[in-house]
Structure 1
Amino acid sequence: MESLSPEQHRAAGEQRTNRLRILGLNTVEAEATFDRIARLAATFTQAPLAMVNFINDERQMFRGMYVPAGTPEDPVDVSGGGIPFDLSNLAREAPGDYGFCPHVVAQRSQLALDDVFDYPRFKGNPLVNDLGVRSYLGTPLRDNTGVVLGTVCVADFKPRAWDRQLKLAMQELSETLLSEFKLRDSLLAQQQELFAVFDGAPFPIMLTEGPDHLLRYANGKQGQAFGLVPQFSLGRNVLPGLDRIGVFAAMDEALRTGRPTTVPRASLRTYDSAAPQDFDFLCTPIRTSPSAPFKGVLTVAMNTTGQGYGGAESQAFAANVQQRFEQLGGAALSDSVPGR
């Protein structure tokens, strides 16, 4: 299959990155589902290296990985018990042009290299020098909408022939992940129902994820009061007014301790009022199951100027949201949360 033109390549990269965000896959975080797929690929191909690699417009993210317990100089037989991610010089991420997977994504077709040294365009690749890879088999990883998200690939430290049976098996293995992507889309639909409730709330609400407080969602009241901000932006950067009054410091503490924190009686000028307004901010850590680590923070702002709302109401609201997130399960906090 022909490679994409530079313009098509850029457009495809943007589409792929957006889809990875929607599916909650745009990070290097390891995931057991993808590690298992990598293990299966290594097992039936008898290859010492296997990865499930997602590629955005900047980098590659090996969310699934299987490598031997030894080193390229002293490889361990995969059937003898390799362990995921054990090579000291191999990370869960790589630059966007590193290795052979970007070629698979660009061509949107399987790439089989029996001996890298037989291909002048590939034998100088850093992957050969860094890990001693001599053979590679990479298969496009398509989601349920047809977008190529990355690859399922295997590699060996010696030349070898990738026969037709192995190529077909790798294609079939990559297709088993379609159900995973469909599940994430289903959870997205449930999230949208949940956030439709947030849209109708009479107070500002925002949901952030991770220690950098990446903005996943903000309802209409949040935008009216504190300013419209882009989805996936860093909260501190785009909401400096809230940072100045200590809201993000409280969010830091909530995420660190796993306990709700408050910023009481904070006064600031809002976009929808000429006079300063007083707010009580409740920052509640959010997780996707009772045993999962806290992954995000739900921040509710109650206007205590004039009529306002009481603290008990915001606490009850946040507790209900926490329960709903835990019911949604593992993908509830994903890049798919709508933004403003």
Structure 2
Amino acid sequence: MESLSSEHDRLAGEQRTLRLRILGLNAVEAEATFDRIARLAASFTHAPLAMVNFINDERQMFRGMYVPTSSPDEAADPAGGGIPFDLSNLAREAPGDYGFCPHVVAQRTQLALEDVFDYPRFKGNPLVNDLGVRSYLGTPLRDNTGMILGTVCVADFKPRTWDRQLRQGMHELTETLLSEFRLRDSLLAQQQELFAVFDGAPFPIMLTEGPEHLLRYANGRQGQAFGMVRQFSPGRQVLPGLDAVGVFKAMDDALSTGRPTTVPQVALRTCDAPMPQEFSFLCTPVRTSPGAPFKGVLTVAMNTTGQSYGGAEPQAFAANVQQQFERLGGGPLSD
């Protein structure tokens, strides 16, 4: 397969990855909205395999997927035909150059392969050898800014004619996701207003996302005390001082249990003081809609050297932030 690693594609991949991170889509987890679109695509085209695929600069992430769940002898997929083998455990991620979707993203146009064997450049694709795919229809998935984030695609295990009606229908189905991206951008704008509250807080605050604790936001006092770091940086790597005293271990516990955790009275050398300072940390799990899984951690540091802040004030602040996030009704830190 020809290389897709030109300088243009590399830069486009980096921009796409940043956009996916901002939207909270740079992960493999399934999402009901995208699973529903995949199911509709499979039903509309009578194809046994459908995906909503987001592509960053390293991998493909199938956040929406429809695959047959029946055995090969009892296949009951939308196409009504058998499948080569059980696909119910098909992974939701793949290397960045696997299959046909990367070609759709690179070419920025719909790709219809009625019989893969008719195309020498695609005939040897691993998707053909691994899954037995013989036909494919992939449509660019654009967000509300016009950026291509991935594809909505369907595939079959036999040659297929993808007529004009099916191709146009896939375009229209893909466009229904524009409202999802607009909603996420709207929620991001509301989150930015909430972050303004962080700026006025009298203690260091950071909001991290996911098990790697990617830095979503840090207020000025956080940067002054522990060092300025880039957005989306993995916390443990860029803030080793906090990791050494157990802050990220406490954040792990908060994320896994859904309960606030504390790190009491640890000595730290900060960027804005000549002598080590004593801090206590409160790590509160954050979700952006009631009942959704916790996806982030709000960490508040209380300087107990000199002017001290009692435990009640940061706890009340963290509880207020949690309520504000839940009022947003969803967003990049939610499922």
Shorter-normalised TM-score: what interval? over 0.9
Cα distance, 1:73–1:54 mapped onto 2, change above 3 Å: farther
In the aligned structure 1, how far is the partner of 2:77 from the partner of 2:12?
38
| 2:255 matched residue in structure 1 | 255
1:70 Cα deviation (Å)? 3.4
SS in 2 for 1:104: helix
1:76 Cα deviation (Å)? 3.0
Is 1:108 the counterpart of 2:134? The answer is no
SS in 2 for 1:127: helix
1:79 Cα deviation (Å)? 6.8
User: For residue 179 of structure 1, what is the amino acid of its counterpart?
Assistant: S
Pairing 1:48-197 to 2, within 5 Å after superposition: 48-70=48-70, 75-78=75-78, 87-88=87-88, 90-197=90-197
| 1:21 matched residue in structure 2 | 21
1:150 Cα deviation (Å)? 0.5
Identical counterparts, % of pairs: 83
User: For residue 249 of structure 1, what is the amino acid of its counterpart?
Assistant: K
| 2:207 matched residue in structure 1 | 207
Pairing 1:211-230 to 2, within 5 Å after superposition: 211-230=211-230
SS in 1 for 2:224: helix
In the aligned structure 1, how far is the partner of 2:75 from the partner of 2:129?
16
Cα distance, 1:132–1:72 mapped onto 2, change above 3 Å: farther
- The aligned length equals 329
In the aligned structure 1, how far is the partner of 2:300 from the partner of 2:99?
45
In the aligned structure 2, how far is the partner of 1:20 from the partner of 1:38?
19
In the aligned structure 1, how far is the partner of 2:5 from the partner of 2:267?
53
| 2:292 matched residue in structure 1 | 292
1:29 Cα deviation (Å)? 0.8
Higher relative contact order (CA 8 A, sep 6+): 1
Residue range with higher mean Cα deviation, 238-247 or 139-148: 238-247
1:259 Cα deviation (Å)? 1.4
Does the Cα contact within 8 Å between 1:72 and 1:131 map onto a contact in 2? no
In the aligned structure 2, how far is the partner of 1:89 from the partner of 1:282?
39
Q: TM-score normalised to the size of structure 2?
A: 0.93
Q: Deviations over 1:52-80 (max 9, x none)?
A: 00001111000000011236787433277
Cα distance, 1:44–1:205 mapped onto 2, change above 3 Å: same
In the aligned structure 2, how far is the partner of 1:109 from the partner of 1:193?
37
In the aligned structure 2, how far is the partner of 1:113 from the partner of 1:308?
67
1:303 Cα deviation (Å)? 1.0
Cα distance, 1:67–1:225 mapped onto 2, change above 3 Å: same
Residue ranges of structure 1 left out of the alignment (5+ in a row):
335-340
In the aligned structure 2, how far is the partner of 1:128 from the partner of 1:73?
21
User: For residue 309 of structure 1, what is the amino acid of its counterpart?
Assistant: Y
| 1:337 matched residue in structure 2 | none
In the aligned structure 2, how far is the partner of 1:240 from the partner of 1:125?
43
Residue range with higher mean Cα deviation, 276-285 or 150-159: 276-285
1:258 Cα deviation (Å)? 1.6
| 1:318 matched residue in structure 2 | 318
Does the Cα contact within 8 Å between 1:265 and 1:278 map onto a contact in 2? yes
Does the Cα contact within 8 Å between 1:280 and 1:311 map onto a contact in 2? no
1:255 Cα deviation (Å)? 1.6
Residue ranges of structure 2 left out of the alignment (5+ in a row):
none
In the aligned structure 2, how far is the partner of 1:4 from the partner of 1:235?
31
| 1:329 matched residue in structure 2 | 329
User: For residue 29 of structure 1, what is the amino acid of its counterpart?
Assistant: E
1:89 Cα deviation (Å)? 5.6
Q: TM-score normalised to the size of structure 1?
A: 0.92
Cα distance, 1:187–1:226 mapped onto 2, change above 3 Å: same
Does the Cα contact within 8 Å between 2:187 and 2:330 map onto a contact in 1? no
